[in-house]
A and B are shown apart, each in its own frame.
Chain A
Amino acid sequence: MGKTLAEKVFETHVVDKPFEDLWVLKLDTVFCHEITTPIAIADLQAKGMDKVFDPKKIKAVIDHVSPAKDSKTAEQGKALRQWARRQGIEDFFDIGRNGVCHALFPEKGFVRPGYALVMGDSHTCTHGAFGAFAAGVGTTDLEIAVLKGVCAFKKPKTLKIELKGALPAGVYPKDAMLAVISALGMGGGTDRVLEFSGPVVDSMSMEGRMTLCNMAVEAGGTSGICMPDTTTADYLWPFIGPEGEGLFATKDEALAEYSKWSSDEDAEYDRILGIDCSTLEPLATYGYSPDKVKPVREMGEVKVDQVYIGSCTNGRIEDLRAAAAVLAPEVRKGRKVHKELRAILAPATTEVYAAALREGLIEIFVQAGFCVSNPTCGACLGMSSGVLASGEICASTTNRNFSGRMGKGGMIHLMSPASAAATALEGRISVARISAAKKGGEV
């Protein structure tokens, strides 16, 4: 019987099985942010264990509230900053060099095929896009992870999600993932790794794969996972090739090494879910859970107060290109976002911001009347930079539409960046003109 990729990571990383079905894994890296880490640090200090297992394997960022919005969040930033200095954690990203954790750390080349990694954040599943087992954990697990470099898991089953066909024009990885979550339901992936494969995934960029894996947890999944391939090796090349760490002389060498991190043909899956993407159309959520999904076409007249483009789901450069491609032709005609609506763009990282500047995308957003914010989680979790008032409706490219998530009494409709841009122009949920927007975001 063959093995799934997730099983291979478990078997190569296990250091202890203290109880039936509990696998303690050695971690290749541990990620930290300023919301869930400071309490772990304080607890370690209180217990006289203020140490880390390996400062080189710990990466930390201030991202959730950036810059600090009040004294309490300033204290959280300070706690993380001082800890990073004290422990000699060199890969610490303060504001100005930061970005939303799940966009920033891949961009820095910190995730590699075959890794086992954790972070005190539920969307850590994003990093599975590189062929890693990447799981969100709570503060206690994080505490032991930074102290000892291990974390315990029940061995998850793998759920195979085959994305067949091809995405039609105007339909994006976000739409495909909303279709997956709708099919699985919110708890359908609990204690499962969601393995994405099929022609749609094969032809998808790393950004797109990260969008898929990012929302694995919205179906309860422990980690998303994609098999590493040339796209993965290309993305990582600046870090692993001769210009970087020099791990490989050629991409073929890298691919030969990474190919061991894929599921066997005869691997055993808990369930196989096939989705024909050729018949998909732009989708949006309509309730307070991410599995309540329907075609935008069937949404009816939903007037929107705020459009939000950003987050670890859809704040990457490709997402900004897709949104700008919808806006650009209208902006050229002098049109702006609908006058009864406000729109916010939060590029996911400093590098995404810089690339968007270079490509002229920021100009388009600004001319369209978007408020362009700095990289931050901000409004995604309702902590800062775009919190909703009671009764307000937001069309958002984020991943969670829970009641109150972006602000008490607010309602969120999740959708792709292109749909969000179209909505910004129309003032109500819409996909007008998005399939006409040029592919690849030429603007």
Chain B
Amino acid sequence: MKKLGGKVLFLDKDDINTDELIPAKYLNEDSKKALGPYCLEDLSAPGFDRARDLPGKGAIVSRANFGCGSSREHAPWALEANGINVVVAESFARIFRRNMYNCGMVAAELPKAVIEELFSRFSGQETVMELDAEKGEILFSSTRAGILKLPLSIGEFELAMVRSGGWVEFAAKRY
């Protein structure tokens, strides 16, 4: 299975919507890669500076109802084009969550208190996340705040998507 996670981008805001992940005016792009430069262009979140914070990241930690709004799969694609393949949040909008797994990426939910702890302990420092979907484990580490290892419950379907690389691969054969 591919490596999941990387350096963490903390986005301290509820209800980050897919218009913020990728504005509609770029929906006329015809390749997933072309979306990369516009990812999070319109997002304003406390402490977030796009030019400084987005490059080099592999994972996002955010708050409640992440990915709400438009069904555009361009949102996960724009993240992927920037090297991000995991989002961890308190909760997700249904379509975004499914889109992530359909692309073989991970949208993982952690309890509010845990998200709170992640923000208070790790945000503002270089933090790395490693996610092991098979073991159901997620690990955060930084030089200053040390290591935090957490169990992660990932459903059968979600695991199958991460393993197979997505829904098309799975369903085209089965149906």
Task: Give CA–CA (A181, B166) in the complex, Å.
Answer: 33
CB atoms of B174 and A190 under 8 A apart = no
Task: Give CA–CA (A115, B60) in the complex, Å.
Answer: 37
Contacts of B171 in A (CB 8 A): 144, 148, 150, 152
CB atoms of B175 and A187 under 8 A apart = no
Contacts of B93 in A (CB 8 A): 187, 190, 220
Q: Across the two chains, which residue of chain A brings its CB closest to B18?
A: A122
Is B49 engaged at the interface, CB distance under 8 Å to the other chain? no
CB atoms of B25 and A382 under 8 A apart = yes
CB distance from B140 to the nearest CB of A (A): 24
CB atoms of B71 and A148 under 8 A apart = no
Q: Say which one of B98-106, B117-125, B128-136 lies at the interface with A.
A: B98-106
Contact with A along B57-96 (1 / 0, CB 8 A): 0000000110011111100100000000000000111111
Is B155 engaged at the interface, CB distance under 8 Å to the other chain? yes
CB atoms of A137 and B166 under 8 A apart = no
Is A49 engaged at the interface, CB distance under 8 Å to the other chain? yes
CB atoms of A383 and B15 under 8 A apart = no
- CB within 8 A of A137: which of B71, B91, B175? B71
Is A136 engaged at the interface, CB distance under 8 Å to the other chain? yes
Q: Across the two chains, which residue of chain B brings its CB closest to A408?
A: B42
Contacts of A76 in B (CB 8 A): 28, 30
Task: Give CA–CA (A144, B157) in the complex, Å.
Answer: 16
CB atoms of B20 and A402 under 8 A apart = yes
CB atoms of A190 and B69 under 8 A apart = no
CB distance from B22 to the nearest CB of A (A): 11
Q: Knowing A138-B71, A138-B72, say if A404 contacts B156 (CB, 8 Å).
A: no
Is A356 engaged at the interface, CB distance under 8 Å to the other chain? no
CB atoms of B70 and A186 under 8 A apart = no
- CB within 8 A of A383: which of B27, B160, B174? B27
Interface residues on chain B, number (Cβ under 8 Å): 44
- CB contacts under 8 Å to A, within B130-175, are 155-157, 160, 166-168, 171-172, 174-175
Task: Give CA–CA (A114, B42) in the complex, Å.
Answer: 40
Contacts of A402 in B (CB 8 A): 17, 19-20, 69
Task: Give CA–CA (A389, B172) in the complex, Å.
Answer: 44
Contacts of A270 in B (CB 8 A): none
Task: Give CA–CA (A43, B155) in the complex, Å.
Answer: 27
CB distance from B172 to the nearest CB of A (A): 6
CB atoms of A222 and B17 under 8 A apart = no
Task: Give CA–CA (A381, B120) in the complex, Å.
Answer: 36
CB atoms of A16 and B175 under 8 A apart = yes
- Max chain A Cβ within 10 angstroms of own Cβ: one of B29, B70, B72, B156: B70
CB atoms of A144 and B168 under 8 A apart = yes
Is A85 engaged at the interface, CB distance under 8 Å to the other chain? no
Q: Across the two chains, which residue of chain A brings its CB closest to B96?
A: A138
Is A75 engaged at the interface, CB distance under 8 Å to the other chain? yes
Q: Say which one of A34-42, A198-206, A304-312, A431-439 lies at the interface with B.
A: A34-42
Is A141 engaged at the interface, CB distance under 8 Å to the other chain? yes
Task: Give CA–CA (A277, B45) in the complex, Å.
Answer: 36
Is B23 engaged at the interface, CB distance under 8 Å to the other chain? yes
Q: Across the two chains, which residue of chain A brings its CB closest to B23?
A: A404
Is A333 engaged at the interface, CB distance under 8 Å to the other chain? no
Task: Give CA–CA (A143, B172) in the complex, Å.
Answer: 10
CB distance from B85 to the nearest CB of A (A): 15
Q: Closest 3 A-B residue pairs measured CB to CB?
A: A138-B73, A138-B99, A140-B102
9 new A-B contacts at CB < 8 Å, known A20-B155, A150-B175, A408-B23: A22-B157, A38-B30, A65-B28, A136-B95, A139-B73, A141-B167, A144-B172, A148-B172, A381-B70
